[in-house]
Amino acid sequence: MIEMILHLIILSGIIISAGLVFAFRDLVSAAIAFAIFSFLLAIEFYILQAPDVALAEAAIGAGLTTAAFIIAIRGTVRREGDGI
């Protein structure tokens, strides 16, 4: 029962953070929302008894990809739709 409630909470967080990625106009905020999405996905994989996939998702999805997004955003404009 507790495991089902935990699944529902994490899946709700995944859906909300995925929506926030598309809703934010500030690209840094969207990248942080994507990191939260990826971290929650890693937790879900761990709960589903896939620790190797969870570790890869946490390292690549939440860590490396977010860092690459932040570095790329630094070289462009911060808000979507702003001119250079």
Q: CA-CA distance, 21 to 14, in Å (whole number)? A: 11
pTM across the whole model: 0.86
Are 65 and 25 contacting, i.e. CB atoms less than 8 angstroms apart?
no
Domain assignment of residue 26, yes or no: yes
The residue written with tokens 């969870």 in the block is 54
Domain that holds residue 61: 2-74
Q: Rounded to whole angstroms, what are the CA distances from 70 to 2, 19, 33, 58, 78?
A: 36, 19, 12, 17, 10
Whether residue 80 is contained in a domain is answered as no
Residue 79 belongs to a domain:
no
pLDDT tens readout for residues 37-64: 999 999 999 999 999 999 999 999 888 9
3-state secondary structure at position 79: strand
Q: How many domains does the chain have?
A: 1
- Model pLDDT for residues 5-43, shown as the tens digit of each residue: 999 999 999 999 999 999 998 999 999 999 999 999 999
